[in-house]
Structure 1
């Protein structure tokens, strides 16, 4: 995943804002020729989970449509999802694996301990959906307009 520090800071901030519950949202950008994703914008979403929101999040089909519309307005695509892990490590859980749907997406997890963001990691879902592989996060300088 290629992105900017400001995008990573916004993910960390969303995790902090949602604490002690899981926060979630969409990564917007473009898929690069090497199959990795360049993330240039975020679309915050509401955790739709009705129970166990401190350990689970849920996004609806309407959330995906809304994120897709926001991406298209900016000439981008939805290229992934992010969420926070309150008081847990920034690595995918079994539930994250069971609920992940899109090989090709980048899945970002930020760990938030006692309300403060800590580790932030990126993951790619294997084509057979059997596991996640760690993705490197490459920082780029934002373009000046």
Structure 2
């Protein structure tokens, strides 16, 4: 299960709306909690370096990913996943998404953005022990709404 605050959930969906009709992308920082899964504590927006087909592909520059990983360590956190949007396409991983997913144990969140509006958000856990046996498993998203209610 992926645990994420309401604010972070809404922020990643808003990111997809802002970059429409191109894919957005970013990194999920947090901790893996044994028995419960990945808990997201912070989002880091990343630049989509794909210039050839940014409407249906994304790439985070290696230098930016290293910088984000250092930032996470400085905060006592880990990279627990990634997110991106699918403009006018379902919130389902594609063969390209699978081929380019290499962080075993990480969550991969995809938000479908139809006509500029975030519609559906799904998460997939990359499981396995090697590139040869990796696979995506559907992952439930638990949205922590306590902070949303506290503001009312």
The CA distance in 2 between the partners of 1:107 and 1:24, in whole Å, is 10
TM (normalized to structure 2)?
0.89
The CA distance in 2 between the partners of 1:45 and 1:119, in whole Å, is 21
SS at match of 1:7: helix
Match of 1:106 in 2: 107
- The 8 Å contact of residues 113 and 119 in structure 2, kept in 1 or not, is answered as yes
Moved more, 64-73 or 3-12: 64-73
Give the deviation of 1:35 after TM superposition: 6.2
The CA distance in 2 between the partners of 1:139 and 1:19, in whole Å, is 24
The CA distance in 2 between the partners of 1:2 and 1:74, in whole Å, is 18
Moved more, 73-82 or 84-93: 73-82
TM (normalized to structure 1)?
0.93
Runs of 5+ in structure 2 lacking a partner? none
Correspondence 1:135 to 2:139 = yes
The CA distance in 2 between the partners of 1:108 and 1:22, in whole Å, is 12
Moved more, 113-122 or 60-69: 60-69
Give the deviation of 1:80 after TM superposition: 0.6
Q: Deviations over 1:96-137 (max 9, x none)?
A: 0010001100000011000000100110113122x3111001
Give the deviation of 1:23 after TM superposition: 0.3
Give the deviation of 1:31 after TM superposition: 0.7
Match of 2:14 in 1: 13
Q: How does 1:24-39 map to 2 (within 5 A)?
A: 24-34=25-35, 36-39=37-40
Runs of 5+ in structure 1 lacking a partner? none
Equivalent pairs counted in the alignment come to 143
SS at match of 1:64: helix
SS at match of 1:29: strand
- The 8 Å contact of residues 43 and 70 in structure 1, kept in 2 or not, is answered as no
Match of 1:88 in 2: 89
- The 8 Å contact of residues 107 and 123 in structure 2, kept in 1 or not, is answered as yes
